[in-house]
Amino acid sequence: MLNDKMFYIDLCPTPYDENCAQLGDADYYEQSDIEIKAFIDQLERTVPLPDNATYVKKSNDHDFGTYYEVAIQYPKEWQLDGEVMDDLSDVENNLPERWDDKAKEFLSSNNYRHLEI
């Protein structure tokens, strides 16, 4: 659930050089849930956030329906702190290119069909 006392930086649903579920696919919501969980878990392992920030699943409206991405959720008051915002930008600039082995394991075991092996 999104909180109105927080701000968000939208990221992406998967590592940037991986395939992802496509809005409009019959199994989009199921596949999206799997990839978002795997990506949040991978990010928490590999790209730490400052205290009081967290990775969340965020919905976005589109003409063709609602799609989901991973976002960074952080307190609104951080907008006034340039150093913290620089740290969040560093996170955004260091997102993984590919799934790591642990994520691939999770995706495979959950019948994720967009995984390239």
Reported pTM: 0.88
34-77 pLDDT tens trace: 999 999 999 999 998 988 899 999 998 877 789 999 999 998 87
Cβ pair 34, 107 in contact under 8 A? yes
Cβ pair 70, 11 in contact under 8 A? yes
Query: Residue 36 and residue 77: Cα distance in Å, rounded?
Result: 27
Query: Residue 61 and residue 15: Cα distance in Å, rounded?
Result: 21
Q: Which two tokens stand for residue 39?
A: 């990506």
Buried b (16+ CB within 10 A) or exposed e, 24-39: eeeebeebbebbbbbb
